[in-house]
Amino acid sequence: MIRRAVQDGIIEVAVTDIRSFATDKHSMTDDRPFGGGEGMVMKPEPVVRAINQARKEKDHGRVIFLTPQGRRFKQQVAGELAELDHLILLCGRYEGIDERIQSYIDDEISLGDYILTGGEPAALVIIDAVTRLLPGVLGCNDSARLDTFSRGGLKYPQYTRPREFAGQKVPDVLLSGDHQAIAEYRLLAAVAKTKEKRPDLLKTMTFSIEEKKILKKNGLL
């Protein structure tokens, strides 16, 4: 999907090598931390030069530092970023980047409470999550609109052929052709699945007035 989005001109992806903005003969982008401690810290000069170059090439752009201290990346954040014209994803390495880059960034995002060897895998995740929300990327626009987390919770269970597998049958309602009944079943199934597997998400789910009536009638709200 990402390759097709690039080929169709829906998105452009460019990689900026921070190392190419170092000025010493060894192209050093990191150094030992002041005060001592483990590891190395990325130097501010080449990072800022790389940011400024990326901004110049695409008329400014929103600079997002991928760091554990950032706000948690969620589907809603992906939707927010999909509204922007130009994202500059800054990938840290080693023990991080010199704190003095803070005045050159606009946002900080974290994928979760774990550490990667660098910000590049996180950047790929964000590119993928944001790109699939853009018009024309997915074959069916409803795929993104009705995704897991689109309303705050999990998506309803999905089934395909065969109708019976290992003694398990597809729910009859999905074979009925009754679109209203199917929609109601999927609403109830999505909430039940969220309640079972991710109850922490229930408080973030959003429903219409009619959906709330259906959920209350079935004891799920």
- Across 25-54, average pLDDT: 96
| C-alpha to C-alpha distance for 165 and 146, rounded to whole angstroms | 26
For residue 171, is the peptide bond before it cis, meaning its omega torsion is within 30 degrees of 0? no
pLDDT of 29 over the 80 cut: yes
Cα of first residue to Cα of last residue in the chain, in angstroms, is 37
| C-alpha to C-alpha distance for 27 and 17, rounded to whole angstroms | 11
Tell me what pLDDT residue 180 has: 97
Percent of the chain residues past pLDDT 90, beyond the cut: 91
pLDDT of 176 over the 80 cut: yes
| C-alpha to C-alpha distance for 215 and 90, rounded to whole angstroms | 43
Looking at residue 39, the DSSP 8-state letter turns out to be: S
Helix (H/G/I), strand (E/B), else coil: 183:
helix
CATH code, residues 148-217:
1.10.1270.20
pLDDT of 44 over the 70 cut: yes
At 151, the pLDDT band (50, 70, 90 cuts) reads: confident
| C-alpha to C-alpha distance for 218 and 184, rounded to whole angstroms | 11
- Nearest Cα to Cα of residue 50 among 32, 68, 70, 23: 23
pLDDT tens by residue, 154-167: 999 999 999 999 99
Tell me what pLDDT residue 145 has: 67
Instruction: Convert 79-97 to b/e letters by CB count within 10 Å (16 or more is b).
Output: eebbeeeebbbbbbbbebb
For Cα atoms 160, 164, 169, give the angle at the middle one, nearest 5 degrees. Answer: 90
Lowest mean pLDDT among 85-89, 107-111, 147-151: 147-151
Query: Per CATH, which fold does 2-131 belong to?
Result: Alpha/beta knot (3.40.1280)
Q: pTM higher than 0.85 for the full model?
A: yes
3-state SS track over 162-174: CCEECCEECCHHH
| C-alpha to C-alpha distance for 150 and 74, rounded to whole angstroms | 10
Domain residue ranges of the chain, discontinuous segments joined by +: 2-131, 148-217
- Nearest Cα to Cα of residue 90 among 74, 109, 111: 109
pLDDT tens by residue, 62-93: 999 999 999 999 999 999 999 999 999 999 99
Catalytic center residues? 68, 95, 132, 147
pLDDT of 141 over the 70 cut: no
